[in-house]
Amino acid sequence: MIPELKDAELAAVIGPVASGKTFLLKKWLSGLPRVAVFDPTGEYDDIPAEHFWGTPKAFVEYLEKNPNRFMAVYHPGENLEEGFEWVASAMWQLSEPRFLFIEEIHELISPWNRHPKMKLIMKYCRKRLLGVVGSTQRLADLHKDFTSASRLSVIFHTNEPRDLDSIRERWGAEAEQTVNELRPLVYDDVNGTTSQTPEALVFVRGSAPVKMEIG
């Protein structure tokens, strides 16, 4: 089962390596007509898309030529903040409903640092028909403003003490306990098979959290 991703909304996806997070994100991506991915880690190297490696001009030109349907992945290299400035600005100018996926979003909005574009995105993305999906391995490193602004939050199993503390601070002790007890992903790297489907705790603003099998 896959949580529903709606147009022009903020969504947060949190989970450590091999938690099921990437599976969910790629499932969402496969069903979207207009989407760009900001990928500083190379997590999306293998998806069928137009890939741009530290070439903002080429990325902008691609969007200008394909405003109605596109799948683009921007890999910023060392110039992460400058690269995000270009990507966010280019996506902001489009008019059709579209999504921007941001891998390791804590690099751009943490308790210690916030990219100037993130404040604009969180405040006005809905009016601009821009959906934003931010993913991170570590909730403790992501500013609470982003999770507070997100209509949808999906949290996979973790037993990391700092992240469990952050879950308790943001969603309460019951959520902390539930996440700690979620069924984790079990994946065989050798055979490429999943022997245990992961669970996630899904928060939709205005509704009670739901434990969901992601697969």
Please report the pLDDT score of residue 186 as a whole number.
77
Q: Residues in the chain with pLDDT < 50?
A: none
- Rounded to an integer, what distance in angstroms lies between the CA atom of residue 60 and that of residue 153? 30
Structural domain for 66, as ranges:
10-213
- Give the domain CATH number at 108: 3.40.50.300
- Contact indicator for 104, 136 with CB cutoff of 8 Å: yes
Q: pLDDT tens for residues 74-99?
A: 999 989 999 999 999 999 999 999 99
- Rounded to an integer, what distance in angstroms lies between the CA atom of residue 150 and that of residue 164? 19
Q: State the total domains in the chain.
A: 1
Can you list the alpha helix ranges (DSSP code H) found in the chain?
Answer: 21-30, 56-65, 80-93, 116-124, 144-149, 161-171, 173-181
Please report the pLDDT score of residue 18 as a whole number.
84
